[in-house]
Amino acid sequence: MKKNKIFLVFILPTIILFTVIITSTLGEEVVPTWLQNISAIISAIIAYFLFLKDHSIKVFLGWNRFKGIFKKDTVAWKGTYKFSFYEEDYNFIEDVKSLIQRLNLTFNEEINIRDINNNNENYATFTIMLKGYNRMIRVSHGQSDDENIHKLTINYEVSISYSDSRTEIQRYNKFLELLNKGHKIIGKELITDNSEKELYIIHLSFAKYNPFYGLSIKNIDESAKDVEFNLKFKMDNLIITTSKNTLKAVSENKEQLINVLDDYIALSTVG
């Protein structure tokens, strides 16, 4: 068991317990009533918090989110957005130029786009420098059987600290909002191939445990060795796969994906 967990589970409650006992037995002549009351209130609050941390997902994640502010470990993001649209006389190179312009206008002076490679008719790359981190962007183009139906896949990669992950969620959300601007996205009723579906994918690699995985194993007897498993579940149209060091979410809805990032991203170490 780690030192910080030992302190939180055993040492701190023990100190508080002895403090309460001492203050309650010495009497008002030695310990003022107000100090006894404060000691009792603090002990009750901590006991209640420890109970909630063990039985509430929201409290557990909130506590780890708070601890994550002080962590320097990294989370590797790999985001993918796929969509199809109808357009005659489509020019991929000009479309990528337009995307870069939208990024510059949206993020203003905060952003620095460099290493632009946009000479291929079906593939382009560039790097976004924003708030001290480089984000590698890859854009690829494909076509369906109908020459006027085009498919775009945009990949977004960055390694960022736990403490900066909260604001990165907001930036990634804003980035996604700019990608399909000006395109006539094909409605579900016109899709003839699964590859034409609009799809959001995020894959996170954690330096250490992610909170959701940690919550899943935290009550397993510590004598059990090498406990590892993969968990996959579906909520509405959202599919989540989680393991000790990774989390992958796939959805046709952007808001669902952002909610997953907001709730389950690794913001501190667990275990």
Question: If residue 140 lies in a helix (H) or strand (E), which one and from where to where?
Answer: strand 133-143
- One-letter amino acid for residue 30 of the chain: V
Domain ranges of the chain: 3-55, 74-264
Q: Quote the pLDDT of residue 233.
A: 75
Cβ within 8 Å of residue 76, ≥6 positions away: 157, 158, 159, 204, 205
Q: Quote the pLDDT of residue 116.
A: 94
- For residues 37 and 67, the answer to whether their CB atoms sit within 8 Å is no
Task: Determine the Cα angle at 18 with ends 12 and 23, to 5°.
Answer: 125
Along the 271 residues of the chain, how does pLDDT read in single tens digits? 445 554 555 566 666 666 666 655 655 555 566 666 676 677 677 777 777 666 676 776 677 666 655 666 678 889 999 999 999 999 999 999 999 999 999 988 788 999 999 989 899 999 999 988 999 999 999 988 888 899 999 999 999 887 787 788 889 999 999 998 889 888 776 666 667 788 999 998 877 656 556 555 555 555 545 556 677 778 778 898 887 788 889 999 999 888 888 766 544 334 4
74-264 CATH, one of 3.30.530, 1.10.3210, 3.30.70, 3.30.390: 3.30.530
Alpha carbon distance 80, 156 (integer Å): 6
Q: Quote the pLDDT of residue 128.
A: 95
